[in-house]
């Protein structure tokens, strides 16, 4: 029985087919969001060059972010492989690819060429610098930290006076994934209305710029530039990371009148005084009141463990959390109650992979994990047979290295 017929019907996207090409994070995770919600996602990977996601840190990336997918390990850039690729796209609803800008145009796979084969196809191009603009930049290679650097984000991260650092884990990649997922879904809605496909040009550095809240506008309008804050707000006292008696940390926000009114007394600070008048939304830094609050927090944290401090503050309405590690999360009752972690069976049919469950929770058409991440080329035969590719051509493509296949792969 073929993989497609074995795939259960579930989720909000059952019946849609997505073709995905891309290594590492951005394109694969966008495809994963489709796969977890019921779409048939076909991952085209190189027949001989192993995706970095399969080898980095003992392969955790592909096991977590390629679940429910089918693998077609094929060189799709020329000859028979290119024709099979175009034939596959005739059956697809969405194409998600991540590469250097302009690569598909150079391969003769422009949007217009793809629409000749499937006018309804929705296309998402993910790149560091976009498909258009100054050619030197369009042609540049990029990864998540490069998008953060060029997109003005990296300079925001790290401690004041210290070298900047990339935010982790991979916000440039995951932001691109969420944009690709959300906007291709929007394009499908429009396509279902008009019968015409769409193309999205997702430049990661632009996405990084777009998620910076008020800061770009403040600079463009008032000339106010971002000042690196580190682990404490440069505006509000009681807004940041604090070390507790047991050496563990908490993060709290003394922000808005209700929080101050209930939270300050827990710290031993009186609210509704000349220094902190009733109705105050926050305590400004570099004031006498700020020093009183910060000193009180230091004393409070020195007398309590992080768990005790969190309990006292949250029970009085203060937004606060311990900084959990993975062991904390695995053993935490709220994580357990919401089944954040789960296990699934790997492609070898035996190995159990622990990881993060399908999120968010969906009531009427929930997502699910119906298979683990595929072996390299695991689904070649099924997919090509579905497309009506003759066995002689399949054998020829294997012989010429245009198709590849490899048993269960796990880096050591």
Which secondary structure element, helix H or strand E, spans residue 198, and what is its range? strand 198-203
User: Residues 405, 380: contact at Cβ < 8 Å?
Assistant: yes
**Cα separations in angstroms, 110 against 106, 114, 128, 333, 386:** 8, 6, 18, 51, 25
- Of 67, 10, 40, 35, the closest CA to residue 366 belongs to 10
**Cα separations in angstroms, 341 against 36, 84, 337, 353, 357:** 15, 38, 10, 11, 5
- Of 170, 150, 154, the closest CA to residue 162 belongs to 154
Collapsing DSSP to helix, strand or coil, 297 comes out as helix
Q: Which two tokens stand for residue 184?
A: 């291709």
Catalytic residue from among 65, 111, 144, 173: 173
- Of 59, 13, 47, 41, the closest CA to residue 348 belongs to 59
- How, if at all, do strands 239-243 and 249-253 pair? antiparallel
DSSP category for residue 156: G
> From the CB of residue 9, how many other CB atoms can be counted at a distance below 10 Å?
7
| Whether residue 173 lies in the annotated active site | yes
**Cα separations in angstroms, 254 against 32, 89, 236, 294, 368:** 38, 53, 8, 11, 39
* ω into 120 cis (within 30 of 0): no
Q: Which two tokens stand for residue 142?
A: 């990029």
* ω into 36 cis (within 30 of 0): no
Phi and psi based region of residue 70 (left: phi greater than 0; alpha: psi -120 to 50; beta: remaining): beta
Neighbour order of strands in the sheet with 239-243: 239-243, 249-253, 320-322
Active-site residues, by number, are 173
């Amino acid at each position: 029985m073929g993989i497609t017929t074995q795939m259960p019907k579930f989720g909000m996207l059952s019946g849609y087919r997505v073709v995905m090409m891309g290594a590492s994070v951005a394109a694969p995770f966008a495809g994963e969001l489709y796969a977890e919600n019921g779409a048939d996602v076909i991952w085209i990977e190189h027949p001989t060059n192993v995706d970095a996601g399969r080898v980095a840190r003992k392969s955790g990336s592909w096991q977590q972010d390629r679940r429910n997918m089918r693998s077609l390990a094929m060189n799709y850039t020329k000859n028979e492989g290119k024709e099979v690729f175009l034939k596959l796209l005739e059956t697809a609803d969405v194409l998600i690819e991540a590469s250097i800008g302009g690569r598909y145009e150079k391969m003769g796979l422009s949007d217009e060429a793809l629409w000749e084969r499937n006018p309804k196809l929705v296309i998402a191009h993910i790149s560091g610098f976009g498909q258009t603009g100054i050619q030197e930049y369009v042609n540049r290679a990029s990864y998540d930290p490069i998008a953060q650097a060029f997109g003005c984000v990296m300079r925001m991260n790290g401690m004041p006076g210290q070298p900047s650092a990339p935010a982790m884990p991979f916000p440039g990649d995951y932001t691109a994934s969420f944009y690709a997922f959300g906007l291709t879904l929007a394009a499908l809605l429009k396509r279902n209305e008009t019968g015409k496909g769409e193309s999205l040009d997702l430049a990661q550095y632009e996405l990084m710029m777009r998620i910076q809240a008020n800061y770009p506008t403040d600079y463009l309008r008032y000339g106010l530039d971002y000042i690196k804050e580190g682990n404490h707000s440069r505006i509000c006292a009681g807004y940041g990371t604090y070390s507790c008696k047991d050496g563990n940390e908490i993060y709290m926000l003394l922000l808005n009148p209700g929080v101050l009114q209930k939270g300050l007394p827990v710290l031993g600070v009186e609210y509704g005084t000349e220094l902190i008048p009733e109705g105050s939304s926050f305590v400004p830094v570099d004031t006498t009141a700020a020093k009183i609050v910060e000193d009180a927090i230091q004393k409070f944290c020195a007398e309590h463990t992080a768990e005790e401090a969190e309990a006292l503050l949250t029970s009085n309405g203060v937004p606060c959390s311990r900084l959990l590690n993975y062991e904390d999360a695995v053993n935490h009752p709220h994580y357990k109650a919401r089944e954040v972690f789960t296990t699934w069976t790997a492609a070898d049919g035996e190995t159990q992979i622990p990881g993060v469950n399908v999120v968010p929770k969906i009531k009427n058409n929930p997502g699910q994990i119906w298979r683990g991440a595929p072996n390299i080329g695991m689904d070649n035969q099924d997919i090509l047979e579905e497309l009506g590719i003759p066995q002689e051509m399949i054998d020829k493509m294997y012989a010429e290295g245009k198709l590849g296949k490899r048993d269960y792969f796990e880096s050591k």
